[in-house]
Chain A
């Protein structure tokens, strides 16, 4: 069992649907991440939140909208996705001692949401 919980585990949606992916951690981590992983490829960073503020957006299309409502939760809102967006979406978290200090700590990953766009 991982300490980062992602729901749902699987999601199938049409291109006109709106859905959300959820991620939760209770390790007191103040940095949280979204990654996208295609089959047989490494994870690609999408967004980084630091102290509930968006600190990195890797030029992700606006059809992906992240949200960090509190220090334990991270959401990824999906709208008007394309078939090429089908992938495994991974959430991760790590320690950070203050918003100004970059702390190079290991990341803890959830098991992901496998997303299929019809």
Chain B
């Protein structure tokens, strides 16, 4: 399968701590995207990292990509209760399809 495999499946932290989620995939990609989904809502795009990039930042988010290991990580710094959501990595394959990983369920306790 081309989809991302995410680790951990669930993560519970205290407000103010950092949260790290990892994603691995199997085939070549054009880019890799991360999305957030709050309960009962649609997905929200967080960040896109291209295959020729190694690291990207957006506010409290930091994404890394290692194409040699076919892996990516999402770091959320100084987490807030509002960050509680499911996070999906989505490798974007050469055919143009976005294939979502199984997701990490993040719980940030106040």
Contacts and interface: CB of A to CB of B under 8 A. Distances in A.
Contacts, number: 47
A43 B102 CA distance: 9
Interface residues of B, number: 22
A104 B30 contact: yes
A2 B97 CA distance: 22
Interface string A24-64: 00000000000000000111110010000000100000000
Contact of A42 (B33, B92, B100): B100
A45 B98 CA distance: 8
B6 to A, nearest CB: 9
Nearest to A55: B96
A41 B99 CA distance: 12
B43 A90 contact: yes
A109 B97 contact: no
A104 B42 contact: no
A99 to B, nearest CB: 12
A41 B9 CA distance: 11
Q: Is chain B's interface secondary structure helix, strand, loop, or mixed overall?
A: loop
Given A4-B42, A109-B42, A42 B97 contact: no
A112 interface: yes
A66 interface: no
A104 B43 contact: no
Contacts of B97: 45, 48, 56
24 contacts: A2-B42, A6-B42, A42-B3, A42-B88, A42-B100, A42-B102, A43-B88, A45-B97, A45-B98, A48-B96, A48-B97, A56-B97, A90-B42, A92-B42, A92-B43, A102-B95, A103-B96, A104-B30, A107-B98, A108-B45, A109-B42, A110-B42, A111-B42, A112-B41
